[in-house]
Amino acid sequence: MHPDLERVLIDTATLQNRVQALGTAIAQATVNAPELVLVGILKGSLIFMADLMRSIGREVCYDCIAVSSYGASTESSGVVRLNKDLDLDITGKHVIIVEDIIDSGLTLKYVHDLLLRRNPAALEICALLNKPERRNVNVQVDYRGFDIPNEFVVGYGLDYAERYRNLPYIGVLSPRVYTH
Ligand code: 5GP
Ligand code: MG
Ligand code: MG
């Protein structure tokens, strides 16, 4: 385990099994959708989306969108900003937004509302992690990996000040790393 972690929350094998199950669920739910597009929210969803798209087992396109709300802090600023838009036209397509973690829900609400205005045939949300205690805007998560407690986690794409994204598991960061 990385020395900056308090404990491992979700190990590699558990992550892989759950991602495979999400991929199977998405494949079943989209059998009648001719065009499926995954939209990853950079940068945190990158590793999850890479594994997820290979577990879906059908033709899928992907694109990325970049937004920011956090900066180098463990608390959301509450303001979401669009840093990079999609390249693909999603009109008439079955779109699934792929996110690493849903906390307050502000990021997903912003991206969902933005993409809905482009008239996709369907617009769903897939989030690997969910912190139910922290939700303050209502968003429907169609595919969800794990509900987790209200602790700051890193790894498998999730960072603290751009560190720890490449850890192959999810761990709870020791508060001593971010409290000075
Ligand atoms: P929300 O807008 O739902 O409050 O926050 C979503 C974003 O905040 C996530 O995409 C992620 O970037 C960041 N975030 C929320 N909770 C955590 C956490 O426990 N660990 C990390 N690394 N990022 C988090
Ligand atoms: Mg994110
Ligand atoms: Mg971050």
Query: Tell me: the pLDDT tens digits for 93-149?
Result: 999 999 999 999 999 999 999 999 999 999 999 999 999 888 889 999 999 999 999
Residue 160 is assigned to a structural domain of this protein: no
Average pLDDT over residues 51-70: 94
Instruction: Tell me the CA distances in angstroms from 71 to 7, 43, 74, 161, one per residue in order.
Output: 24, 12, 8, 7
Lowest mean pLDDT across 65-74, 118-127, 148-157: 65-74
pLDDT score of 76 = 61
State how far the Cα of 38 lies from the Cα of 94, in Å rounded to an integer: 9
Assign residue 104 the CATH number of its domain. 3.40.50.2020
* Predicted pLDDT at 73: 58
89 in catalytic set: no
- Best CA proximity match to 10, nearest among 149, 170, 124: 170
Q: How many domains does the chain have?
A: 1
Domain of 84?
A: 13-148
Instruction: Catalytic residue, from 103, 142, 147, 159: name it.
Output: 103
In a domain, 36, yes or no: yes
The maximal CA–CA distance of the chain, rounded, in angstroms, is 53
* Mean pLDDT, the chain, whole residue set: 94
Confidence of residue 151 (pLDDT cuts 50, 70, 90): very high
DSSP letter at 90?
A: -
* Residues 55, 52: Cα–Cα separation, whole Å: 5
What single DSSP character describes residue 163?
B
pTM of the predicted model as reported, rounded to 2 decimal places: 0.94
- Give the residues surrounding ligand 1 with Cβ less than 6 Å away: 44, 69-70, 76, 99-107, 152-154, 158-160
